[in-house]
Copies of this chain bind each other. A is one copy, B any other.
Amino acid sequence: MAGDCSVRVFERVLTDVGAGIYVADWKVTNEEFGLGERWTIEKRRLSGGLSDGVDIVAVDNGAFSFTIVPTRGMGIWKGFFKGVRLGWDSPVENPVHPHHINLEARGGLGWLEGFNEWIVRCGLENFGAPGTDVIIDNMGREREVTLTLHGKIANIPAERVTVRVRLEPKVELEVEGVVYERSMFGPNLRLTTRIVTSPGDNKVRIMDTVENLKSSPAEMQLLYHCNYGKPVLDEGTRILAPFRIVAPRDARAAEDIASFDVYGPPETGFVEQVYFCELAGDSDGRTVVALVNRDETLATSISFSLRELPYFTIWKNTASLEEGYVTGLEPATSFPNTRRFEREKGRVIKLEPKGKYRAEIELSVHMGRDDVQKVKAEIERFKVEPKIYQRPIRDYST
Protein backbone atom coordinates (compact mmCIF):
# COMPACT_ATOMS: atom_id res chain seq x y z
CA MET A 1 0.00 0.00 0.00
CA ALA A 2 2.86 2.34 0.86
CA GLY A 3 3.94 2.70 -2.73
CA ASP A 4 0.47 2.64 -4.16
CA CYS A 5 -0.07 6.20 -5.31
CA SER A 6 -3.03 5.97 -7.60
CA VAL A 7 -5.52 5.30 -4.83
CA ARG A 8 -6.73 7.38 -1.98
CA VAL A 9 -4.89 6.52 1.23
CA PHE A 10 -5.45 8.03 4.64
CA GLU A 11 -2.26 8.26 6.65
CA ARG A 12 -1.61 9.28 10.21
CA VAL A 13 1.76 9.23 11.94
CA LEU A 14 1.24 8.29 15.59
CA THR A 15 4.86 8.23 16.68
CA ASP A 16 7.99 9.60 15.10
CA VAL A 17 10.59 10.25 17.74
CA GLY A 18 12.97 12.01 15.40
CA ALA A 19 10.23 14.36 14.19
CA GLY A 20 8.86 14.96 17.68
CA ILE A 21 5.50 13.38 16.85
CA TYR A 22 3.65 11.39 19.46
CA VAL A 23 -0.07 10.75 19.82
CA ALA A 24 -1.10 9.31 23.19
CA ASP A 25 -4.75 8.52 22.47
CA TRP A 26 -6.52 8.53 19.13
CA LYS A 27 -9.18 6.71 17.16
CA VAL A 28 -10.36 6.44 13.60
CA THR A 29 -13.35 4.54 12.22
CA ASN A 30 -14.99 3.83 8.91
CA GLU A 31 -17.53 6.53 9.64
CA GLU A 32 -14.96 9.23 9.24
CA PHE A 33 -14.72 8.37 5.56
CA GLY A 34 -18.35 7.41 4.94
CA LEU A 35 -17.33 3.80 4.37
CA GLY A 36 -19.98 1.15 4.94
CA GLU A 37 -18.15 -1.73 6.55
CA ARG A 38 -17.49 -1.14 10.22
CA TRP A 39 -13.89 -0.94 11.37
CA THR A 40 -11.86 0.97 13.94
CA ILE A 41 -8.24 1.63 14.70
CA GLU A 42 -7.53 2.95 18.17
CA LYS A 43 -4.32 4.06 19.80
CA ARG A 44 -4.03 4.16 23.58
CA ARG A 45 -1.32 4.68 26.16
CA LEU A 46 -1.68 2.37 29.14
CA SER A 47 -1.16 3.51 32.70
CA GLY A 48 -0.29 1.87 35.99
CA GLY A 49 1.50 -1.27 37.09
CA LEU A 50 3.97 -2.94 34.77
CA SER A 51 2.03 -1.59 31.77
CA ASP A 52 2.56 2.07 32.61
CA GLY A 53 3.62 3.93 29.48
CA VAL A 54 2.93 1.05 27.07
CA ASP A 55 1.45 2.10 23.71
CA ILE A 56 -1.10 -0.15 22.08
CA VAL A 57 -2.86 0.07 18.73
CA ALA A 58 -6.09 -1.91 18.56
CA VAL A 59 -7.33 -2.80 15.10
CA ASP A 60 -10.85 -4.12 14.59
CA ASN A 61 -11.85 -5.00 11.03
CA GLY A 62 -15.39 -5.78 12.09
CA ALA A 63 -14.77 -9.51 12.41
CA PHE A 64 -11.14 -9.76 13.44
CA SER A 65 -9.68 -7.58 16.14
CA PHE A 66 -6.13 -7.58 17.42
CA THR A 67 -3.92 -5.42 19.61
CA ILE A 68 -0.49 -4.36 18.41
CA VAL A 69 2.02 -3.27 21.02
CA PRO A 70 4.50 -0.76 19.54
CA THR A 71 6.27 -0.51 22.89
CA ARG A 72 7.03 -4.22 22.72
CA GLY A 73 8.59 -4.31 19.28
CA MET A 74 5.28 -4.34 17.36
CA GLY A 75 4.22 -7.72 18.70
CA ILE A 76 0.54 -8.62 18.71
CA TRP A 77 -0.73 -9.09 22.23
CA LYS A 78 -3.97 -10.87 21.43
CA GLY A 79 -6.64 -11.27 18.82
CA PHE A 80 -10.32 -12.15 18.54
CA PHE A 81 -12.13 -13.46 15.51
CA LYS A 82 -15.89 -13.44 15.87
CA GLY A 83 -15.56 -14.00 19.60
CA VAL A 84 -12.86 -16.69 19.36
CA ARG A 85 -9.82 -15.68 21.29
CA LEU A 86 -6.41 -15.97 19.60
CA GLY A 87 -3.49 -16.06 21.90
CA TRP A 88 -3.21 -17.64 25.30
CA ASP A 89 -3.36 -17.02 29.03
CA SER A 90 0.17 -16.38 30.10
CA PRO A 91 0.77 -16.09 33.83
CA VAL A 92 1.87 -12.57 32.86
CA GLU A 93 -1.50 -10.97 32.19
CA ASN A 94 -0.88 -7.51 30.80
CA PRO A 95 1.69 -6.01 28.45
CA VAL A 96 4.90 -5.40 30.36
CA HIS A 97 6.88 -2.28 29.59
CA PRO A 98 10.37 -3.30 28.44
CA HIS A 99 11.95 -1.11 31.07
CA HIS A 100 10.76 -3.65 33.63
CA ILE A 101 12.46 -6.47 31.75
CA ASN A 102 16.08 -7.33 32.41
CA LEU A 103 16.92 -9.68 29.55
CA GLU A 104 20.15 -10.69 31.25
CA ALA A 105 18.41 -11.81 34.45
CA ARG A 106 18.83 -15.43 35.55
CA GLY A 107 21.49 -16.24 33.03
CA GLY A 108 19.61 -14.69 30.14
CA LEU A 109 16.03 -15.80 30.82
CA GLY A 110 14.57 -12.37 31.67
CA TRP A 111 12.52 -12.34 28.45
CA LEU A 112 10.07 -14.73 30.09
CA GLU A 113 8.87 -12.05 32.50
CA GLY A 114 7.15 -10.18 29.67
CA PHE A 115 6.09 -13.08 27.47
CA ASN A 116 2.33 -13.12 26.87
CA GLU A 117 1.81 -12.25 23.22
CA TRP A 118 -0.20 -14.06 20.59
CA ILE A 119 2.49 -13.21 18.03
CA VAL A 120 5.93 -12.15 19.15
CA ARG A 121 9.05 -11.84 17.07
CA CYS A 122 12.27 -13.32 18.38
CA GLY A 123 15.55 -11.87 17.11
CA LEU A 124 17.04 -9.86 15.47
CA GLU A 125 20.68 -10.22 16.48
CA ASN A 126 19.84 -13.61 17.86
CA PHE A 127 17.00 -15.75 19.08
CA GLY A 128 16.72 -19.10 20.77
CA ALA A 129 18.24 -20.45 23.91
CA PRO A 130 20.55 -18.19 25.87
CA GLY A 131 24.17 -19.04 25.36
CA THR A 132 27.59 -17.64 25.03
CA ASP A 133 28.80 -16.44 21.68
CA VAL A 134 31.70 -14.36 20.44
CA ILE A 135 31.20 -10.78 19.31
CA ILE A 136 33.76 -8.30 18.08
CA ASP A 137 34.12 -5.45 20.54
CA ASN A 138 35.12 -1.81 20.05
CA MET A 139 38.78 -2.74 20.16
CA GLY A 140 38.35 -5.19 17.32
CA ARG A 141 38.87 -8.08 19.66
CA GLU A 142 36.79 -11.18 20.14
CA ARG A 143 34.75 -11.05 23.30
CA GLU A 144 32.60 -13.80 24.70
CA VAL A 145 29.21 -12.56 25.81
CA THR A 146 25.92 -14.16 26.78
CA LEU A 147 23.20 -13.79 24.17
CA THR A 148 19.88 -13.76 25.95
CA LEU A 149 16.78 -15.86 25.33
CA HIS A 150 14.99 -14.87 22.12
CA GLY A 151 16.94 -11.66 21.69
CA LYS A 152 15.97 -8.05 22.11
CA ILE A 153 13.44 -7.09 19.46
CA ALA A 154 10.32 -7.84 21.52
CA ASN A 155 11.52 -5.45 24.19
CA ILE A 156 12.39 -2.44 22.04
CA PRO A 157 9.79 0.30 21.50
CA ALA A 158 9.05 1.34 17.93
CA GLU A 159 10.55 4.67 16.93
CA ARG A 160 7.91 5.27 14.26
CA VAL A 161 4.30 4.13 14.07
CA THR A 162 2.03 5.01 11.18
CA VAL A 163 -1.56 4.12 10.45
CA ARG A 164 -2.68 3.89 6.85
CA VAL A 165 -6.09 3.14 5.41
CA ARG A 166 -6.64 2.39 1.78
CA LEU A 167 -9.94 4.14 1.18
CA GLU A 168 -10.89 2.43 -2.06
CA PRO A 169 -11.87 -1.22 -2.52
CA LYS A 170 -10.38 -3.40 -1.36
CA VAL A 171 -10.10 -1.30 1.79
CA GLU A 172 -6.99 -2.09 3.81
CA LEU A 173 -6.15 -1.23 7.40
CA GLU A 174 -2.43 -1.01 7.98
CA VAL A 175 -0.25 -0.30 10.96
CA GLU A 176 3.39 0.22 10.13
CA GLY A 177 6.09 0.21 12.76
CA VAL A 178 9.81 0.81 12.62
CA VAL A 179 11.95 -0.70 15.37
CA TYR A 180 15.70 -0.36 15.59
CA GLU A 181 17.91 -2.91 17.28
CA ARG A 182 21.16 -1.03 17.40
CA SER A 183 24.08 0.03 19.46
CA MET A 184 27.38 1.80 19.01
CA PHE A 185 29.88 -0.96 18.14
CA GLY A 186 26.97 -3.37 17.81
CA PRO A 187 24.36 -4.41 15.31
CA ASN A 188 22.23 -1.83 13.56
CA LEU A 189 19.19 -3.67 12.29
CA ARG A 190 16.00 -1.91 11.29
CA LEU A 191 12.74 -3.80 11.36
CA THR A 192 9.95 -2.30 9.31
CA THR A 193 6.71 -4.15 9.80
CA ARG A 194 3.40 -3.61 8.10
CA ILE A 195 0.46 -5.35 9.74
CA VAL A 196 -2.52 -5.40 7.40
CA THR A 197 -6.09 -6.59 7.37
CA SER A 198 -9.28 -5.71 5.49
CA PRO A 199 -12.80 -5.12 6.78
CA GLY A 200 -14.55 -8.42 7.51
CA ASP A 201 -11.52 -10.55 6.63
CA ASN A 202 -10.57 -13.67 8.54
CA LYS A 203 -6.89 -12.90 8.24
CA VAL A 204 -4.08 -10.55 9.09
CA ARG A 205 -0.81 -10.26 7.25
CA ILE A 206 2.52 -9.35 8.84
CA MET A 207 5.00 -8.11 6.27
CA ASP A 208 8.46 -7.47 7.64
CA THR A 209 11.70 -6.15 6.27
CA VAL A 210 14.90 -6.30 8.28
CA GLU A 211 17.71 -4.14 7.00
CA ASN A 212 21.34 -4.14 8.02
CA LEU A 213 22.15 -0.42 8.24
CA LYS A 214 25.85 -1.00 8.75
CA SER A 215 28.49 -0.73 6.10
CA SER A 216 29.72 -4.18 7.04
CA PRO A 217 27.96 -7.56 6.95
CA ALA A 218 25.83 -8.59 9.91
CA GLU A 219 24.16 -11.71 11.14
CA MET A 220 20.40 -11.75 11.59
CA GLN A 221 17.87 -14.18 13.04
CA LEU A 222 14.10 -13.93 12.91
CA LEU A 223 11.46 -16.20 14.40
CA TYR A 224 7.71 -15.68 14.67
CA HIS A 225 6.55 -17.12 17.96
CA CYS A 226 2.82 -17.67 17.19
CA ASN A 227 1.09 -18.82 20.36
CA TYR A 228 -2.30 -20.45 20.80
CA GLY A 229 -4.14 -21.52 23.93
CA LYS A 230 -7.80 -22.26 24.41
CA PRO A 231 -10.09 -22.61 22.55
CA VAL A 232 -7.98 -23.34 19.46
CA LEU A 233 -5.67 -25.49 21.52
CA ASP A 234 -7.55 -28.16 23.36
CA GLU A 235 -7.44 -31.89 23.99
CA GLY A 236 -7.36 -33.59 20.60
CA THR A 237 -6.29 -30.50 18.66
CA ARG A 238 -3.89 -31.45 15.86
CA ILE A 239 -1.21 -29.59 14.02
CA LEU A 240 -1.43 -30.14 10.28
CA ALA A 241 1.49 -29.28 8.04
CA PRO A 242 3.31 -30.71 5.04
CA PHE A 243 6.13 -32.15 7.14
CA ARG A 244 9.26 -33.27 5.33
CA ILE A 245 11.37 -33.82 8.43
CA VAL A 246 10.43 -33.94 12.09
CA ALA A 247 12.89 -34.50 14.92
CA PRO A 248 12.49 -34.21 18.66
CA ARG A 249 14.67 -31.58 20.31
CA ASP A 250 15.61 -33.77 23.23
CA ALA A 251 14.81 -36.96 25.11
CA ARG A 252 11.75 -35.34 26.63
CA ALA A 253 10.30 -34.60 23.19
CA ALA A 254 11.30 -38.03 21.94
CA GLU A 255 9.07 -39.65 24.57
CA ASP A 256 6.00 -38.66 22.60
CA ILE A 257 7.30 -38.49 19.04
CA ALA A 258 4.52 -40.86 18.00
CA SER A 259 1.95 -38.21 18.83
CA PHE A 260 3.99 -35.11 18.15
CA ASP A 261 1.14 -33.65 16.10
CA VAL A 262 -1.63 -34.15 18.65
CA TYR A 263 -2.22 -32.15 21.79
CA GLY A 264 -3.32 -33.35 25.17
CA PRO A 265 -5.39 -31.59 27.81
CA PRO A 266 -3.89 -29.22 30.37
CA GLU A 267 -1.63 -31.20 32.64
CA THR A 268 -0.03 -29.91 35.81
CA GLY A 269 3.72 -30.37 35.73
CA PHE A 270 3.83 -31.04 31.99
CA VAL A 271 7.34 -30.31 30.73
CA GLU A 272 7.53 -28.69 27.30
CA GLN A 273 8.16 -30.78 24.19
CA VAL A 274 9.80 -29.20 21.19
CA TYR A 275 9.94 -30.59 17.65
CA PHE A 276 12.20 -29.26 14.95
CA CYS A 277 10.73 -29.55 11.45
CA GLU A 278 11.28 -28.85 7.79
CA LEU A 279 8.24 -28.48 5.60
CA ALA A 280 7.22 -28.90 2.00
CA GLY A 281 5.51 -26.17 -0.01
CA ASP A 282 4.47 -25.24 -3.49
CA SER A 283 6.89 -24.45 -6.27
CA ASP A 284 7.27 -20.90 -4.93
CA GLY A 285 8.03 -22.22 -1.48
CA ARG A 286 4.69 -21.15 -0.06
CA THR A 287 3.32 -23.39 2.66
CA VAL A 288 0.58 -23.55 5.26
CA VAL A 289 0.39 -24.98 8.76
CA ALA A 290 -2.77 -25.23 10.82
CA LEU A 291 -4.10 -26.06 14.24
CA VAL A 292 -7.40 -27.91 13.95
CA ASN A 293 -9.59 -28.76 16.92
CA ARG A 294 -10.83 -32.28 17.52
CA ASP A 295 -14.24 -31.97 15.92
CA GLU A 296 -12.82 -29.93 13.05
CA THR A 297 -15.04 -26.92 13.61
CA LEU A 298 -12.29 -24.45 14.39
CA ALA A 299 -8.86 -23.95 12.92
CA THR A 300 -6.16 -21.34 12.72
CA SER A 301 -3.55 -21.34 10.03
CA ILE A 302 -0.29 -19.65 9.23
CA SER A 303 0.87 -19.22 5.68
CA PHE A 304 4.43 -18.27 4.84
CA SER A 305 7.26 -18.84 2.41
CA LEU A 306 9.92 -21.46 2.99
CA ARG A 307 12.29 -19.26 1.06
CA GLU A 308 11.97 -16.67 3.79
CA LEU A 309 11.33 -18.91 6.78
CA PRO A 310 12.77 -22.35 5.99
CA TYR A 311 12.67 -23.85 9.51
CA PHE A 312 9.65 -24.60 11.62
CA THR A 313 9.48 -25.41 15.30
CA ILE A 314 6.58 -26.76 17.33
CA TRP A 315 6.53 -25.87 21.00
CA LYS A 316 4.08 -28.01 22.95
CA ASN A 317 3.49 -26.67 26.41
CA THR A 318 0.24 -28.28 27.48
CA ALA A 319 0.80 -27.40 31.12
CA SER A 320 -2.05 -26.45 33.42
CA LEU A 321 -4.16 -23.46 32.48
CA GLU A 322 -2.61 -21.49 35.32
CA GLU A 323 0.90 -22.12 34.08
CA GLY A 324 0.28 -21.35 30.43
CA TYR A 325 -1.51 -24.01 28.38
CA VAL A 326 -0.10 -23.07 25.01
CA THR A 327 1.50 -24.21 21.82
CA GLY A 328 3.89 -22.13 19.78
CA LEU A 329 4.11 -22.52 16.01
CA GLU A 330 7.36 -20.96 14.99
CA PRO A 331 8.31 -20.30 11.39
CA ALA A 332 11.84 -18.95 11.41
CA THR A 333 15.15 -18.48 9.72
CA SER A 334 16.57 -21.30 11.86
CA PHE A 335 15.83 -23.43 14.89
CA PRO A 336 15.75 -21.79 18.33
CA ASN A 337 18.99 -23.26 19.57
CA THR A 338 21.86 -21.01 20.58
CA ARG A 339 23.11 -18.80 17.77
CA ARG A 340 26.52 -20.38 18.05
CA PHE A 341 25.09 -23.82 17.28
CA GLU A 342 22.88 -22.53 14.48
CA ARG A 343 25.85 -20.77 12.91
CA GLU A 344 27.85 -23.99 12.95
CA LYS A 345 24.98 -25.63 11.10
CA GLY A 346 24.87 -22.86 8.52
CA ARG A 347 21.43 -21.61 9.50
CA VAL A 348 22.20 -18.02 10.50
CA ILE A 349 21.35 -15.34 7.95
CA LYS A 350 24.16 -13.03 6.95
CA LEU A 351 23.07 -9.67 5.61
CA GLU A 352 25.33 -7.69 3.36
CA PRO A 353 25.83 -3.98 4.05
CA LYS A 354 22.43 -2.36 3.48
CA GLY A 355 21.14 -5.84 2.81
CA LYS A 356 17.47 -6.53 3.38
CA TYR A 357 15.62 -9.61 4.47
CA ARG A 358 11.92 -9.89 3.86
CA ALA A 359 9.53 -12.22 5.61
CA GLU A 360 5.79 -12.43 5.67
CA ILE A 361 3.30 -14.49 7.59
CA GLU A 362 -0.44 -14.58 7.12
CA LEU A 363 -2.58 -15.58 10.06
CA SER A 364 -6.08 -16.88 9.38
CA VAL A 365 -8.99 -18.26 11.34
CA HIS A 366 -11.37 -20.86 9.96
CA MET A 367 -14.74 -21.44 11.57
CA GLY A 368 -17.19 -24.20 10.75
CA ARG A 369 -16.56 -27.57 9.13
CA ASP A 370 -16.55 -26.23 5.58
CA ASP A 371 -13.86 -23.68 6.16
CA VAL A 372 -11.79 -26.10 8.18
CA GLN A 373 -12.00 -28.66 5.37
CA LYS A 374 -10.76 -26.05 2.91
CA VAL A 375 -7.60 -25.32 4.87
CA LYS A 376 -7.06 -29.05 5.42
CA ALA A 377 -7.32 -29.58 1.68
CA GLU A 378 -4.87 -26.81 1.02
CA ILE A 379 -2.26 -28.35 3.30
CA GLU A 380 -2.99 -31.78 1.81
CA ARG A 381 -1.85 -30.54 -1.58
CA PHE A 382 1.67 -29.85 -0.27
CA LYS A 383 2.05 -33.10 1.61
CA VAL A 384 4.99 -35.44 1.13
CA GLU A 385 6.09 -38.58 2.92
CA PRO A 386 7.66 -37.24 6.11
CA LYS A 387 10.87 -38.46 7.67
CA ILE A 388 10.15 -38.63 11.37
CA TYR A 389 13.13 -39.19 13.61
CA GLN A 390 12.57 -41.05 16.85
CA ARG A 391 15.55 -39.44 18.54
CA PRO A 392 17.18 -36.02 18.45
CA ILE A 393 19.46 -35.63 15.45
CA ARG A 394 22.86 -34.06 15.45
CA ASP A 395 22.11 -31.54 12.78
CA TYR A 396 19.19 -30.04 14.70
CA SER A 397 19.93 -30.46 18.39
CA THR A 398 22.82 -29.38 20.55
Contact = CB atoms under 8 A, between A and B. Distances in A.
A112 B216 contact: no
A321 B215 CA distance: 8
Given A15-B49, A98-B100, A323-B216, A113 B186 contact: yes
A156 interface: yes
B106 A17 contact: no
Copies in the complex: 3
Interface stretch (A32-40, A228-236, A266-274, A337-345): A266-274
A115 B183 CA distance: 8
Contacts of A109: 137, 145, 185
Given A17-B51, A157-B48, A323 B105 contact: no
Nearest to A99: B99
A305 interface: no
Interface residues of A, number: 74
Contacts of A94: 17-18, 159
Nearest to A24: B47
A322 B102 contact: no
A310 interface: no
A214 interface: yes
Interface in A143-180: 143, 145-146, 156-161, 180
Given A18-B94, A145-B107, A48 B159 contact: yes
Nearest to A185: B112
Interface of A: 15-18, 20-22, 24, 46-53, 55, 90-94, 97-100, 102-107, 109, 112-113, 115-116, 135, 137-140, 143, 145-146, 156-161, 180, 182-186, 188, 213-216, 250, 252, 268-269, 271-272, 320-324, 353
For the complex of A and B, list the 8 residue pairs with the smallest distance between their C-beta atoms, beginning with the closest.
A140-B271, A22-B47, A215-B320, A99-B99, A17-B49, A15-B48, A49-B159, A22-B48
